[in-house]
Amino acid sequence: MPLVYGDFDQAALDAAYDNSAHVGPEKRAAYVGGWAARSDELRARVPHQADLAYGDGPREVLDFVPCGRPGAPTFAFIHGGYWQYNDKRSSLQLAAGVLAHGINFANVEYTLAPGKRMPEICQEIRRATDWLLDNLARLGGDPNRLYVGGHSAGGHLTAIAMGNPRVAGGLAISGLFDLEPIRLSYLNKALGMDVMEARRCSPIHTLPKKAGRLLVTAGGGELSELQRQSVEYYAAWRSAGLDGAFVPLPGHDHFSLLDELSSPAGILARTLAKLAGR
């Protein structure tokens, strides 16, 4: 078969971004089921505001979970799913690790492809970021201490949100920062990106001139392309003179590493607390 990206033919490139196949469908289903159950349990017992609208679309909403401390920092999480799957509902379980460190938790939703194209999805995240910055004081948080984070596609959207200089910092977990291989893979059937859209929405090609401190992380047990994307983006971020750190998670796959954020004792929860305490 002809090569379509680097040393990859079409089948190899598609496999290089198929996280579910790499981890195994049964194991992935167990992760997702656990997230949903823990999110439902937390939702039932923790005071929160659900589906606050930051835009006009039905999925332009977010949940806000206060930690109980006036003027606390806030962590806004953006879920993954290759911009075409999932929703915020099962991400609420991550609040357990965040709230324990005296940080508010915002759970951000966005429109999925093919309902919106990639530039429009990115614009929704920019709107959500602006809305939080403008409303955190009313919600009881500190508008000067908004931290954004996300997993997989949410890691990509975290980098988009970091373009707002008012954002204090970020945590990009297993993100996709160069969308060209995504455009050339099976994932683009729903996304429909052309060459210019993929480049314009690739954070590695659109680094901000000024930004808060960004933490980049990936699991040592992930697909090599996922690891490469994080390593290369972090290198580009630092080469641009921007503040950041790389947080390796050896032994974790694409899904298990979220345990390090949902547990108060997890590496990512403790790293976020240190970032927010700066």
User: The tokens 């609208």 sit on which residue?
Assistant: 53
Amino acid identity for residue 95 in this structure: A
Q: Indicate the pTM of the whole model.
A: 0.98
Which pair of tokens denotes residue 210? Answer: 């000024």
Which structural domain range is residue 161 located in? 3-276
| CB 97 within 8 Å of CB 266 | yes
d(CA 198, CA 28): 28
| CB 10 within 8 Å of CB 16 | no
pLDDT tier at 278 (50, 70, 90 boundaries)?
A: low
**pLDDT digit string (tens) for 230-255?**
999 999 999 999 999 999 999 999 99
**pLDDT digit string (tens) for 72-103?**
999 999 999 999 999 999 999 999 999 999 99
Nearest to 252 by CA among 261, 239, 243, 265: 261
CATH number for the domain including 7? 3.40.50.1820
How many domains are contained in the chain?
Answer: 1
